[in-house]
Amino acid sequence: MQALRDFHQAWGYVAILANAGAGVAGLIVWRVPRARGRWVWILTVGAEAILLLQVVCGVVLVSDDGYTVARFHMFYGFVAFVAVGLAYSYRFQMSGRLELLYGLVGLFLMGVGIRAVMQVV
């Protein structure tokens, strides 16, 4: 479990940076339509997958009786998980502004990740 804990700790920073990049990219292509392309969606899906892997690792760690963590850390993981699902469910209502939606969600997930890291440092 120590190896998974070390991975979870390091992967948290990867998830923060990936979602920051995806969020900024989403907002840029929302304002500059000629920059749009498949690359934005690959970056966004990749960043969200990285975050969901982080959440799954956290759930596995919490299932171990020997591992305890701050409650708000777990809360932020839950919020991140739900935010990805909510963004996906609103994709039809935001047609024409999908890049804006996923740009803001990426930045929101970055902020949630920073708050989660701050709970255990």
19-38: pLDDT as tens digits: 999 999 999 999 999 999 99
Read off the pTM: 0.91
41-83: pLDDT as tens digits: 999 999 999 999 999 999 999 998 888 888 999 999 999 999 9
pLDDT number for residue 111: 97
pLDDT number for residue 94: 87
Q: How many domains does the chain have?
A: 1
Secondary structure (3-state) at 33: helix
**Domain coverage including residue 66:** 2-120
**Amino acid symbol at 67:** Y
Can you list the alpha helix ranges (DSSP code H) found in 1-121? 2-31, 38-63, 71-89, 98-120
pLDDT number for residue 1: 86
Instruction: List own/partner pairs for 36-41 with CB under 8 A and 24 or more apart.
Output: 36/99, 40/99
